[in-house]
Amino acid sequence: MKEMTMPSKVDADWLPPSLDEYEKLLFRLNHTPRVVTDNDACPNSTIVKVDSTRKHGILLEAVQVLADLNLSIKKAYISSDGRWSMDVFHVTDQAGKKLIDESVIRYIEQSLGTIHYTKTSDFPGLTALELTGTDRVGLLSEVFAVLADLQCNIMEAKVWTHKGRIASLIYVKDCNTGSPIEDSEQINLIESRLRNILKGDNDVRSATTTVSVAMTHTERRLHQMLFVDRDYEQEPVLSAGCDSPNVTVQNWAKMGYSVVNIQCKDRTKLLFDVVCTLTDMEYVVFHATVNTIADKACLEFYIRHMDGTPISSDAERDRVILCLQAAIERRASAGVRLELCTSDHRGLLADVTRTFRENGLNVTRCEVSTTLGTAFDVFYVTDARGNRADPKIIESVRSQVGPHDLQVKEPPIVNHESPAGRGPDAVGVAGAVLLSLGSMVMRNLYNLGLIRSCS
């Protein structure tokens, strides 16, 4: 069993400036989360326990650390008592194995041990573009083409679509200087050009563009953008293979809680998506349980408003149900997964997505990452009607982009049982964990000295 009771480094700006050194020490001892990782207590998963003072959002911050590592949460027990909370997570890697890589375990301990402190951006030193509007075939191609024309180098991006709406966070820097974009005239031009594209000729709702300093966790911000856009009120868009989650809300009058029950297909980051939405709707989770059986997940939350009252009306209850269903559906992997891995160059994304558009493919979800001059991009594509794309069209697109650069991949499958054996070409558990990490987490591991650069 491994225990971490103090972070290796505390942000001094987080502590009240009026405290002397002794008071600061007591403050750290009383407020620092206590993190324990245990690989012995459970035969199938690693147990991560976090004890901390209770505050709004602390559960989300803890789940966010695990979600950023693409870990699968098999079980979870959340409990609050007065000023304290205790969260227990049973986690595995994407291969369904315990965590045995020490660098990953140390990263979890250090990150969870500092969740009370001020957080920095996912992508410091970049300019964040926030876009929402009506989705259509070819929209992403037009956005990337405009950014290339305006000398914006896209370093990272995530795009979600849900019920005919699109939300994207695109992180860019100036192609010529390699610096964040700060010139007001250039920012105004970027906003104007992108807003015109998002509006198009038939935008039934508002289109928004915002240029800012990258300060928010990307996926949480995407949830917030679509929530503000009220995507949960839109009519469902039928998509093959997508099961609607079953969400119910009841009041437990005797104890003053509202009880939320969710049954849906299990997947990575499911708990993050649900807790993110409850937190941003200003509900406090006092107790919760998460259980997974085969490919199904059952989640139960005991919640109240921040003022301590339960849900008070049928209209509010219905809104909670719609918002949680939307939060779970937004990350649905509709379509064929295409992975692009190639040397990065100016206009790469504009060229690739133009090829998609010219072949009638619609991008339903996209993740763009650029590290050390290499672009690793993931696209989920359907035909123009949202159905599975014709394999012949996919092969045609691959031949145009480069069959070795653009590969068809099945979406990652959450393993619920440990395989009995692994072939000689199987990747080790440590490798499986590290391969699943996003570029942001990889950079954090490198900066903490927990992994070495491959360059």
Return the structure tokens found at 374. Answer: 């290499």
pLDDT of 328-380, one tens digit each? 999 976 799 999 999 999 899 999 999 999 999 999 999 999 998 999 999 99
Question: Can you identify the CATH homologous superfamily of domain 127-235+333-409?
Answer: ACT domain (3.30.70.260)
pLDDT of 139-183, one tens digit each? 999 999 999 999 999 999 999 999 999 999 999 999 989 899 988
pLDDT of 223-260, one tens digit each? 999 999 999 998 776 554 557 899 999 999 899 999 99
Q: How confident is the model at residue 421 (pLDDT cuts 50, 70, 90)?
A: very low
First vs last Cα of the chain: how many Å apart? 34
Tell me what pLDDT residue 57 has.
86
Least confident of 46-55, 406-415, 423-432: 423-432
Q: Looking at the predicted structure, is the pLDDT value of residue 82 above 80?
A: no
Tell me what pLDDT residue 420 has.
39
Cα–Cα distance measured from residue 43 to residue 419, given in angstroms and rounded to the nearest whole number? 14
CATH of 246-329, one of 3.30.70.260, 3.10.310.70, 3.40.50.720, 3.40.50.970: 3.30.70.260
Q: Which helix (H) or strand (E) holds 161?
A: strand 152-162
Q: Looking at the predicted structure, is the pLDDT value of residue 17 above 70?
A: no
- Going edge to edge, which strands form the sheet with 362-371? 208-213, 127-134, 165-174, 152-162, 362-371, 374-382, 336-343, 406-409
Q: Which of 243, 267, 242, 239 is nearest to 388 (CA)?
A: 239
If you average pLDDT over residues 93-121, what whole number do you get? 84
Q: Which helix (H) or strand (E) holds 3?
A: strand 2-4
How far, in Å, are 214, 361, 403 from residue 397 at the CA level?
Answer: 33, 9, 9
Domain 2-112 coded CATH 3.30.70.260? yes
If you average pLDDT over residues 214-224, what whole number do you get? 88
Tell me what pLDDT residue 19 has.
53
Tell me what pLDDT residue 234 has.
85
Q: Are 153 and 123 in contact (CB under 8 A)?
A: no
The count of residues in the chain is 455
Tell me what pLDDT residue 131 has.
95
Tell me what pLDDT residue 53 has.
82
Write out the residue limits of the CATH 3.30.70.260 domain(s) in the chain: 2-112, 127-235+333-409, 246-329
Q: Looking at the predicted structure, is the pLDDT value of residue 452 above 70?
A: no
Tell me what pLDDT residue 332 has.
79
